[in-house]
Amino acid sequence: MNIKCNYCGEMFDETLEKCPSCGAPNSNVKRSTVDQPTTIEELKDWYRSKGLPSYETTRFFIGIDYKGPRAFGIYKDEHTGKCVVYKNKGNGERAIRYQGTDEAYAVNELFMRLKQEILEQKSRNLDIRSSAYITPKERQAIEEEKEEAYKTFIRKEITKEEAAREAYLRFKGEAEYEHRRNKTIVAGIIVAVVICLIFGYATFRAYVKKQIVNAGYYKYNNEVYYHGSTDEYSYWFKYDTADNDWYSENVYDLPLVDKLHSRKYFVSEEDYSDLGCSDVKDSVDYKIAVYGTAISPGYYKYGDHYYYHAENDNSLGWFKFNNVKMDWDYSTSSNLPEALQHQYSAVEYSYDFTFNGERYHPFTDVKQSQAYKITYPAEFASYPKESKDEGYYSKDGKIYYHNDSYASKNWYEYNSTTKQWNQSYQVPDDVESYSPNYSGIKDFTETEYYFDAHPWEKNSDSSGNNYSYSSNSNSGSKTSSDSWWSSSSDSSWDNDSSWSWSSSDSWDSGSTDWSSDW
């Protein structure tokens, strides 16, 4: 963002330490702590030195232009040399926090947000763990550190009166003012010349941009090409005389992409009769370019048969209506008609409708069929309406384990035949607490499902601290030769790898608003 110099009135980037016109200091420039990273590489080293999890876990990507949703990051644009601090929202939209040449300032922006997130994670871990693991003094230490991070994260700006007074005391001599005024005039002349050059170049670029490479047939060097877009580099096809067919072609090195000179090779938009070639629109490559390769989910009718596709993967999720038993059967892609195995041909057989009585359909809703429910059980999950504590439950001779304390999900059912625990999507509403007989079933707290939700209860952690848990209780009890939190404010930053970065319903701290700009 640009700000106005309180002495000469010129506008300049708020991240610069001095006004480029008169040299007056920018008192609004702020830094946080003195002992902190000032470059992207130093921030990477700081991140590694604290034992933090991978970038994919913390959602902080340092030195990476990460494109996925829900992420904070910083990187240096190799073309402009500018540092970019960004946040990718939950819907994938990107919000830019800072974009400029002040690398220390950019690093500080992400550094403070990262420290805030670390404190959020630690604070949340304190809330979900038993109070036996920490002392009141240790809890107070992290709350104070969290409060300090919030104060530092919000940049404070001095008032205009304070900035003006500082500029006046530093540059109050008329001689110096005159000298600066002359420099400003010279700089203004230089800027005006640069603007004229930029305007002239922009005008030329605008002229070139208005020129397009027309869609249609071209002939170059006795070869026939077809262009199907206004983008000069994409959607090109070349005719193969030996195969009598069209294939996608890379024409980056050919003069066909030259907006100003490609017209001399242009033949026609539609007429190919005099070129000795077939219609490009009948070729497979052209149809793939138009319709894509993924067969869209939905209903299809081919002949007298009806099909349904439920996946983005062309080979999975196919169902065929059985006219004999009047129900749907699961089908493999190899049993499909050839026309339904390609998007460019399947699109012609799409059967679009709704089950609302407006039209007669000789089949039932595929999602009500047993075949669909067996294939996609998660879509029909049924759990107790009220949240249940973590532990064992039983109903009608079946044994369940609830591996989550905060919501009705992560239920598992014991299979007495295979002696294994499997995830369950159908749990009765009136299940009752159960004390298992360990001689008859496999203890759930010894499964990987359990340790995925309780990583700190494994025999040892990454630091070598030994832990133990009781297999005869509903929730393991953890003992450690080390505390989870150090009372030293300095060492507290060295134990970040000991803290879980997952919440009850997602991987982030639970406090991040992914719809906001920052």
Q: How far apart are CA 144 and CA 487, in angstroms?
A: 12
Most confident region among 101-105, 134-138, 196-200, 377-381 by mean pLDDT: 101-105
Question: Is residue 93 predicted with pLDDT exceeding 70?
Answer: yes
More confident residue, 454 or 160: 454
More confident residue, 167 or 252: 252
Q: How far apart are CA 83 and CA 39, in angstroms?
A: 10
Question: Is residue 88 predicted with pLDDT exceeding 50?
Answer: yes
More confident residue, 111 or 441: 111
pLDDT value, residue 354 = 67
8 A C-beta contact, residue 468 and residue 481: no
- Quote the Cα angle for 456-460-463, to 5°: 90
Q: How confident is the model over 400-439, as pLDDT tens digits?
A: 999 886 666 789 999 988 889 998 888 998 889 888 877 6
pLDDT value, residue 403 = 87
Residues forming a β-bridge with 20: none
243 Cβ contact partners less than 8 Å away, ≥ 6 residues apart: none
48: tokens are 């590694």
Nearest to 296 by CA among 310, 315, 316: 310
Sorting pLDDT into bands at 50, 70 and 90, what band is 13?
Answer: confident
Phi, psi of 400 (to 5 degrees): -125, 160
Most confident region among 142-151, 301-310, 402-411 by mean pLDDT: 301-310
8 A C-beta contact, residue 236 and residue 251: yes
Question: Is residue 467 predicted with pLDDT exceeding 50?
Answer: no
8 A C-beta contact, residue 434 and residue 399: yes
Q: How far apart are CA 258 and CA 292, in angstroms?
A: 27
The per-residue pLDDT of the chain, averaged, comes to 78
Q: How far apart are CA 284 and CA 287, in angstroms?
A: 5
Question: What single DSSP character describes residue 279?
Answer: -
Q: Which amino acid is at 149?
A: A
The residue-averaged pLDDT of 174-197 equals: 81
From residue 192, alpha-carbon distances to 49, 188, 310 in Å are: 49, 6, 61
Residues forming a β-bridge with 61: 73
8 A C-beta contact, residue 398 and residue 413: yes
From residue 440, alpha-carbon distances to 87, 174, 462 in Å are: 52, 95, 34
Region for residue 289 given its phi and psi (left: phi exceeds 0; alpha: psi -120 to 50; beta: otherwise): alpha
pLDDT value, residue 487 = 32
More confident residue, 44 or 458: 44
93 Cβ contact partners less than 8 Å away, ≥ 6 residues apart: none
Most confident region among 224-228, 481-485, 512-516 by mean pLDDT: 224-228
464 Cβ contact partners less than 8 Å away, ≥ 6 residues apart: none
Sorting pLDDT into bands at 50, 70 and 90, what band is 175?
Answer: low
Residues forming a β-bridge with 433: 393
Among 272-276, 280-284, 494-498, which stretch is predicted with the lowest mean pLDDT?
494-498
pLDDT value, residue 478 = 34
Sorting pLDDT into bands at 50, 70 and 90, what band is 494?
Answer: very low
The residue-averaged pLDDT of 467-492 equals: 35
Sorting pLDDT into bands at 50, 70 and 90, what band is 182?
Answer: confident
Phi, psi of 263 (to 5 degrees): -65, -25
8 A C-beta contact, residue 325 and residue 364: no
8 A C-beta contact, residue 383 and residue 393: no
8 A C-beta contact, residue 279 and residue 230: no
8 A C-beta contact, residue 314 and residue 329: no
Please list the alpha-helical segments (H only) found in 343-482: 343-346, 370-375, 448-453
Query: Which helix (H) or strand (E) segment is 118 a member of?
Result: helix 103-128
Residues forming a β-bridge with 183: none
pLDDT value, residue 156 = 40
Among 150-154, 327-331, 468-472, which stretch is predicted with the lowest mean pLDDT?
468-472
Work out the angle between the directed axes of helices 40-49 and 103-128 (0-180°, nearest 10). 20
Q: How far apart are CA 260 and CA 428, in angstroms?
A: 71
Q: How far apart are CA 479 and CA 399, in angstroms?
A: 29
Among 30-44, 140-154, 178-192, which stretch is predicted with the lowest mean pLDDT?
140-154
8 A C-beta contact, residue 291 and residue 347: yes
pLDDT value, residue 382 = 87
Sorting pLDDT into bands at 50, 70 and 90, what band is 203?
Answer: confident
Q: How confident is the model over 330-361, as pLDDT tens digits?
A: 999 889 999 999 998 998 899 877 665 555 57
pLDDT value, residue 133 = 55
Side by side, the strands of the sheet bearing 83-88 are 60-62, 71-76, 83-88, 94-100
User: What share of the chain has pLDDT > 90, as a percent?
Assistant: 32
Question: What single DSSP character describes residue 299?
Answer: E
Residue with tokens 């059912």: 413
More confident residue, 260 or 144: 260
Please list the alpha-helical segments (H only) found in 154-173: 160-170
Sorting pLDDT into bands at 50, 70 and 90, what band is 491?
Answer: very low
Most confident region among 28-32, 168-172, 324-328 by mean pLDDT: 324-328
Nearest to 8 by CA among 163, 157, 162: 163
The residue-averaged pLDDT of 120-135 equals: 63
8 A C-beta contact, residue 229 and residue 216: no
- Give the rounded distance of the alpha carbon of 12 from its chain centre: 34
Sorting pLDDT into bands at 50, 70 and 90, what band is 291?
Answer: confident
Q: Which amino acid is at 314?
A: N
202 Cβ contact partners less than 8 Å away, ≥ 6 residues apart: none
Sorting pLDDT into bands at 50, 70 and 90, what band is 262?
Answer: confident
More confident residue, 84 or 362: 84
Q: Which amino acid is at 58?
A: T
467 Cβ contact partners less than 8 Å away, ≥ 6 residues apart: 456, 457, 458, 459, 460, 461, 478, 479, 480
Domain boundaries, the chain: 3-28+161-209, 31-155, 216-291, 298-379, 381-453
Nearest to 500 by CA among 133, 164, 19, 207: 133
Question: Is residue 237 predicted with pLDDT exceeding 90?
Answer: yes
Considering the entire predicted model, what is its pTM?
Answer: 0.41
Question: Is residue 215 predicted with pLDDT exceeding 60?
Answer: yes
Query: Which helix (H) or strand (E) segment is 321 a member of?
Result: strand 318-322
Question: Is residue 177 predicted with pLDDT exceeding 70?
Answer: no
User: What share of the chain has pLDDT > 70, as a percent?
Assistant: 74
